Amino acid sequence: MKDRLSSIIARKGPIRRIGVIGMGYVGIPAAVLFADAPAFEHVYGFQRDSPSSGYKIEMLNRGESPLKGEEPGLEDLLQKVVSAGTFECTPDFSKIAECDAVTLAIQTPFKDKKDLLPDFTPLIAGIRNVGKYLTPGTLVVLESTITPGTTAGMAREILEEESGLVAGEDFALAHAPERVMVGRLLKNIREHDRIVGGIDDVSTKRAVELYSPVLTLGHVIPMTATAAEVTKTAENTFRDLQIAAVNQLALYCEAMGINVYDVRAGVASLKGEGITRAILWPGAGVGGHCLTKDTYHLERGVQQLGPDALDFPDGRESLYTLARGINDFMPEHMLHLTESALAQAGKTLKGAKIALLGWAFINDSDDARNTPAEPYYEAAKAAGAEVRVHDTWVDPETAPDVPPGLSKDLDAVLKSADAVAIFAGHKEYRRLVPAEVKALCACPHPAVVDGRNVADPDAWIDAGFTYRGIGRGDKNGHTFTE
């Protein structure tokens, strides 16, 4: 029956009018790039006129980007396509009926971090809206990161239920996962290879037609929709695994009294044709909205799609969830290091004043989603410590889940601290002067616990600190230099 879809598409002709659902970090750059491509005639950016994000409609139609932070080229391109009349933002979802292709770029964040389940509600609402106005021959593409099997499963069912049409016969359906990173949105879409997977060959072919015109250095990599879903979740699962491998190595190096960074440099030195040793960086933990959840998308996928077919060693935990466990242990390890450093100075966690530097999950960023600093903060408070948090970048007014008293005043956070725990590698922390910090702490041997390799151990030890660092087995057992 795919001939039926082929002939409907042939009658419809090339993709000219495109709809992008979800005016966020993924949807906005995607929409303006489609609108700027000569191959296409008009792009609607669909945005619900809700109290929290309806303001984006007016802003975008004035050519102003609602995205925070620097996005090179985005606002210029937005102004260009708005004034050319090839892009408009609208809350009128009925215009989906005019589109030859519709993409959905709607986040699937954790519903509750404890149960590690994504919240598909917004995405399902978006899919329902598309189904309501879907017309024959249209291509529907999911760009959100989703559990393998979602495109050909839940999404297909909802679209068919809402439209009365049949996927693969009346309309094309595909998955093309986004691979953008904040600060490089346009560049990533243009230059990264684009995974494109349809529920059938006709859908894949139509999706290739949609994405090819916006790629410059990138190439389209066609496959099935489920393979595309596995690719996206696996590429982040593998990064999480690589980080866990070096975090475990760091724990081993601490136990063996050696410097993990010497070992890392040694391992990385083995290179040459066909030799790869992708050794990443150990740290205080893994945060963000990608690596913390995509492993569980992959695990759910195989459980849902192939539970009986999976041949795996009996009783063995998945390597991937084990890796998640090691990365999630690192904030706990940071607390153990803090406890050990305080004890060396004759103190305990209970009653200690801890200055936690860095709430963001990544260096020099205001993004604090799923930050590893949070479990440390909660555990330290539970142990009876007073924790004051500093972050130059995270805005206490707008960031989600910020701790009470999050401050941008570093001196105030450091004042009278018994311990300084560094969770983010912000450039401000790389420039800290041990003697100045010691003066603010105003105690004989404050602790410094370095989670991001930003503190020179000898400089801090010479200034009188009790030093602990992730992977620094060569320094963690130091004595005081009187």
Give residues in contact with ligand SAJ (CB under 6 A): 179-181, 235-236, 239, 243, 280-281, 283, 286-288, 290-291, 361-362
| Closest CB 282 distance from ligand SAJ, rounded Å | 7
Angle between helices 319-344 and 373-382 in degrees, nearest 10: 50
| Interatomic CA distance for residues 347 and 468, integer angstroms | 15
Q: Among 89, 99, 253, 290, which one carries the catalytic annotation?
A: 290
**Which is nearer to ligand SAJ, 292 or 466 (by Cβ)?**
292
| Closest CB 451 distance from ligand SAJ, rounded Å | 9
Degrees, nearest 5: CA angle 439-435-451? 100
**Which is nearer to ligand SAJ, 129 or 151 (by Cβ)?**
151
Helices within 95-192 (DSSP H only): 121-133, 156-163, 185-191
> Which residue from 15, 52, 53, 50 is spatially nearest to 35, judged by alpha carbons?
15
Asked if 99 is an active-site residue, the reply is no
Nearest-Å Rg of the Cα atoms of the chain is 25
| Interatomic CA distance for residues 478 and 480, integer angstroms | 7
Could you tell me the sign of the dihedral formed by the alpha carbons of 3, 156, 195, 15, in that order?
positive
> Which residue from 115, 125, 139 is spatially nearest to 46, judged by alpha carbons?
125
Residue nearest to ligand SAJ (CB): 288
Edge to edge, the sheet with strand 42-46 lists 87-90, 42-46, 17-21, 101-104, 139-142, 172-175, 194-198, 220-224
| CB-based contacts of 73, cutoff 8 Å, min separation 6 | 186, 187
> Which residue from 196, 249, 169, 140 is spatially nearest to 2, judged by alpha carbons?
169
Asked if 290 is an active-site residue, the reply is yes
Q: Are strands 447-450 and 386-390 parallel, antiparallel or unpaired?
A: unpaired
Q: Measuring CA to CA, how many Å separate 256 from each of 251, 280, 477?
A: 9, 20, 11
| Closest CB 324 distance from ligand SAJ, rounded Å | 12
In contact, 420 and 429? CB cutoff 8 Å: no
| Closest CB 358 distance from ligand SAJ, rounded Å | 10
| Closest CB 178 distance from ligand SAJ, rounded Å | 6
| Closest CB 377 distance from ligand SAJ, rounded Å | 15
Q: Among 232, 347, 438, 475, which one carries the catalytic annotation?
A: 232
* 435 exposure class (CB count in 10 Å sphere: 0-12, 13-18, 19+): exposed
In contact, 225 and 232? CB cutoff 8 Å: no
**Which is nearer to ligand SAJ, 20 or 159 (by Cβ)?**
20
**Which is nearer to ligand SAJ, 89 or 362 (by Cβ)?**
362
**Which is nearer to ligand SAJ, 148 or 434 (by Cβ)?**
148
In contact, 449 and 469? CB cutoff 8 Å: yes
| Interatomic CA distance for residues 349 and 385, integer angstroms | 5
Cα 202 to its chain centre, rounded Å, is 31
Q: What tokens appear for 412 in the block?
A: 């105030």
| Closest CB 7 distance from ligand SAJ, rounded Å | 37
**Which is nearer to ligand SAJ, 88 or 235 (by Cβ)?**
235
Helices within 179-318 (DSSP H only): 185-191, 201-211, 225-256, 260-268, 294-305
Q: What tokens appear for 436 in the block?
A: 């100045």
**Which is nearer to ligand SAJ, 179 or 426 (by Cβ)?**
179
**Which is nearer to ligand SAJ, 156 or 324 (by Cβ)?**
324
| Closest CB 191 distance from ligand SAJ, rounded Å | 12
**Which is nearer to ligand SAJ, 96 or 123 (by Cβ)?**
123
Hey, which residues are catalytic here? 232, 290
